[in-house]
Structure 1
């Protein structure tokens, strides 16, 4: 029989045995946790080493091959990112049409939207400046150029006029590669003059455009009251009998024809085709066939008679795509003062002095009735579908010119 003393001893043994097991369990648990932590740390370090030393499966985007990329390349690429992006030099391809289109190669692209800052030094006192004239949009620019020429701080030849009667002689005089251009040119046949620079000096075009309906109404009003025989664009019609809508349809897209200017159309090269077009189109346009058609109208008749609508649309798209390439500055008649600022800044010449030329004596002496007539003429034009079709190409060009004008303003005023 077990005594009470033995029972107490057994209890003590059991107690210490349980305590030993409990402590052992705790020690084993924390030992396991510690070992696991050490192993996971080693695995993490090892995986990092593997990632650094093993090949990269997804290469970062680089402009050179991985074996060629070095510190110098990276630094050079970082610098290039900060440089202004130069405009694309690729020109839209010339459309294939039945029109003898001249490919222009000598010009300075738009000073504000196309020409990089690093190349703006090309526009300097040696640059020839050619004004592409738009009827009833910028006649005052002729006097303006004379004023600018006299105000230049350096010597420059007087502005030269290029118009119908001297086109053939002008191009003959400048045909040789040894000839060079003067400083200023203006007139009815100037688009293409820069091709005569023969690479001797930079040459830039600029123009000032007017809203086509307003321009047609203004020109009709002027021709019937003031300039019937004085202005070349007036003397093909009898303004006592022609209506404003018939005149606008005959006038058509004047700027479009002017930009497509080819001197050979006016100097005898295409006389057979031009005369055919004049007889076909002139009768419908109610022109005085006894008078020699001026250069611009010869282009207009050629386009209307010999080209399909599809061909004219191709030429229009070609013009729209190239406006910023061909013209260093595009001004807008309705914003004449700002246009002068843009032109002056681009050419470093005092064009703002010409703000006085916006005051047209013909406009100042008009009566209120005559101003009301002008408004009536424009209303008639805008309500005639045939007039819209006749002015369509100029309307598209004017819309694009307005977009370019606002881009120029934004660049100019954000300096």
Structure 2
């Protein structure tokens, strides 16, 4: 009897061992299969990444080739890269960015006038020289001034305005750009509402916004930020070859001699092929992080002021022109939701040319704003990367 029990126990042990071996073998096989699947996924993702990088590299080379031939003024040689995304030592960079020339690009109807007033306030309190507002005329003087103006230019540290991009090329010390972003359709709506109430601003020159629909206004204005970053101030001169036989656009109210600089540039760019323009946009996008020391966002005013202050060690958040509870946007800000109710309504049962939601699907409107939307999306990504970097690091 005892022998039978021992035999049964031995049999159970053998079966258990065989079962354990089977389970172990099965588990090992499944693990190996999962590891093999993981390896295949990693290799696949790596191949996709390499393919994407190859495509980006090709696009960048094509863009550089086009820029070199057709837009030789576009490359910039005196810009400090993005402070928060630069891999260098921030201890060393603190002094470099603090002491550098800074240039604020005023993207119209994006809260920029308050940033300019803030710079003026800081310049007075800190005894820092600030150049006159960079209108088209002042920028021409900056570029074409006699050699004896070089010392004067190098004493100025703060620069701002619609025509400021490129001023850094004329100074002999480190220089950086920054700007405040706004969603392009919002910017277009705001400029439309604004120009219905004033004509003094250059962005309103040439057309009567009160006699245009929002759609007509957008088509006449096009991609504003793209033109600012494509600026060659010779577009504004009366003695340069860029001033070819310009055809007056439909709806233009005045003589050709009164055509504003931005319109001359727009007409020039509109004559180029879509391929060349696309390459120019690609080039700009690929250089945003290298051109701009910091990028702000109108929808996050306080956060933008704080990051400006962090980069430049200047008291942006203490400027009297700002209230922590209010937006940076200018007066008469148009809302995307209700702007259609505040503009002239064209009688149409089919298509409302004053409805932003309708216009967002209009192929011609999308084309007119496409360059700005591409730049905006790329810059917005940089803005969020800045915020993430700022929250993940301990700063002095």
TM-score by length of 1: 0.68
Choose which of 217, 240, 245 in structure 2 pairs with 1:270: 240
Bigger Cα displacement from structure 2, 133-142 vs 403-412: 133-142
> Of the two, which has the highest radius of gyration?
1
Report if aligned partners of 2:136, 2:233 keep a CA contact under 8 Å in 1. no
- Distance, in Å, in 1 between the alignment partners of 2:146 and 2:385 is 35
1:236 aligned onto 2:202: no
Tell me how far apart the structure 1 counterparts of residues 334 and 385 of structure 2 sit (CA, whole Å): 36
- Contact kept in structure 2, 1:210 and 1:334, CA below 8 Å: yes
Residue 147 in 1 paired to residue 117 in 2? Answer: no
Alignment partner for residue 210 of structure 1, among 164, 182, 188? 182
Q: Report the counterpart of residue 310 of structure 1 in structure 2.
A: 275
Q: 1:278-337 CA deviation, whole Å, 9 max, x = no partner? A: 31xx424x22242622222222111112x1111001101000000000010111111121
**Residue of structure 1 in register with 2:267 after alignment:** 301
- Structure 2 counterparts to residues 212-361 of structure 1, below 5 A: 212-224=184-196, 226-227=197-198, 229-268=199-238, 270-271=240-241, 273-276=242-245, 278-279=246-247, 282-284=248-250, 286-290=251-255, 292-305=258-271, 307-354=272-319, 355-356=322-323, 358=327
CA 1:288–1:411: 2 relative to 1, 3 Å: same
The verdict on how the C-alpha distance between 1:258 and 1:365 changes in structure 2, with shifts beyond 3 A counting, is closer
- Helix, strand or coil for the counterpart of 1:406? helix
Find the aligned partners of 2:82 and 2:263 in 1 and give their Cα distance.
28
Please state if 1:386 is matched with 2:347: no
Distance in structure 1 (CA, Å) of the matches to 2:259 and 2:334: 31
Alignment of 1:170-185 (within 5 A): 170-173=142-145, 179-185=153-159
Residues 339-371 of structure 1, C-alpha deviations (whole Å, 9 max, x = no match): 1111110000011124338465723899x9768
Change (3 A) 1:94 1:175: farther
CA contact under 8 A between 1:105 and 1:195: conserved in structure 2?
yes
SS in 1 for 2:179: strand
Q: Which residue of 1 aligns with 2:28?
A: none
Cα distance in 1 between the residues matched to 2:137 and 2:125: 29
Say yes or no: does 1:128 pair with 2:101. yes
Contact 1:255-1:394 at 8 Å conserved across structures: yes
Structure 1 residues 195 and 231: alpha-carbon distance in aligned structure 2, compared to 1, 3 A threshold = same
Q: Which moved more, 1:238-247 or 1:177-186?
A: 177-186
**Contact 1:95/1:318, CA 8 A, preserved across alignment:** no
SS of corresponding position for 2:176: strand
Determine helix, strand or coil for the equivalent of 1:270.
Answer: coil
Seen in structure 2, the aligned counterparts of structure 1 residues 330 and 364 have a Cα distance that, compared at 3 Å, is closer
| CA distance 1:369–1:113, change in 2 (3 Å) | closer
Per the alignment, do residues 317 and 164 of structure 1 end up closer, same or farther by CA in structure 2, a change over 3 Å counting? same
**Deviation, structure 1 residue 182:** 1.0
Q: Distance in 2 between matches of 1:157 and 1:343?
A: 19
Contact 2:190 2:332 in 1 (8 A): no
CA contact (8 A) 1:162 1:188 kept: yes
Alpha-carbon shift at residue 231 of structure 1 (Å): 1.1
Does structure 2 conserve the Cα–Cα contact (< 8 Å) formed by 1:174 and 1:196?
A: no
Q: Structure 1: state its 5+ residue gaps.
A: 1-90
Q: 1:141, CA displacement in angstroms? A: 1.7
The CA distance in 1 between the partners of 2:328 and 2:71, in whole Å, is 39
State how far apart, in whole Å, the 2-side matches of 1:168 and 1:300 are.
18
Instruction: Give the Cα–Cα distance (whole angstroms) in 1 for the partners of residues 113 and 98 of structure 2.
Output: 24
User: Structure 1 376/246 Cα, relative in aligned 2: closer, same or farther at 3 Å?
Assistant: closer
Give the drift of 1:191: 0.2
TM-score (norm 2): 0.72
Output the CA distance in 2 between the equivalents of 1:105 and 1:364: 36
Contact 2:77 2:169 in 1 (8 A): yes
Find the counterpart in structure 1 of residue 168 from structure 2: 194
